[in-house]
Amino acid sequence: MPEMRTQVGIVGAGPAGLMLSHLLHLRGIESVVLESRSRDHVEHRLRAGVLEQGSVDLLCRSGVGERLRREGLRHEGIELRFAGESHRVPMADLTGRAITVYGQQEVVKDLIAARLAAGGSILFEADVVRLDGLDSDSPVVHFRRDGRDEELRCDFVAGCDGFHGVSRGAVPEGVLTTYERAYPFAWLGVLAAAPPAVDELIYANHERGFALYSMRSPEISRLYLQVAPDEDIAAWPDERIWAELRTRLETVPGWSLNEGPILEKSITPMRSFVVEPMRWERLFLAGDAVHIVPPTGAKGMNLALADVALLGDAFAAWYDEGRTDLLDGYSATALRRVWRAQHFSWWMTSMLHRLERDDPYESKLQIATLRYVTTSEAYARSLSENYVGLPEV
Buried b (16+ CB within 10 A) or exposed e, 343-359: ebbbbbbbbbbbeeeee
Q: Is 295 helix (H, G, I), strand (E, B) or coil?
A: helix
Show which residues are catalytic.
75, 203, 295, 299, 387
Q: How many CB atoms lie within 10 A of CB 134?
A: 19
Q: How many CB atoms lie within 10 A of CB 266?
A: 12
Beta bridge pairs of residue 153: 5, 140
Nearest to residue 236, comparing CAs of 265, 275, 199?
265
Q: Specify burial of residue 218 (Cβ count, 10 A radius: 0-12, 13-18, 19+).
A: exposed
Q: Is 262 helix (H, G, I), strand (E, B) or coil?
A: strand
CA distance 261 to 279: 45
Q: How many CB atoms lie within 10 A of CB 264?
A: 10
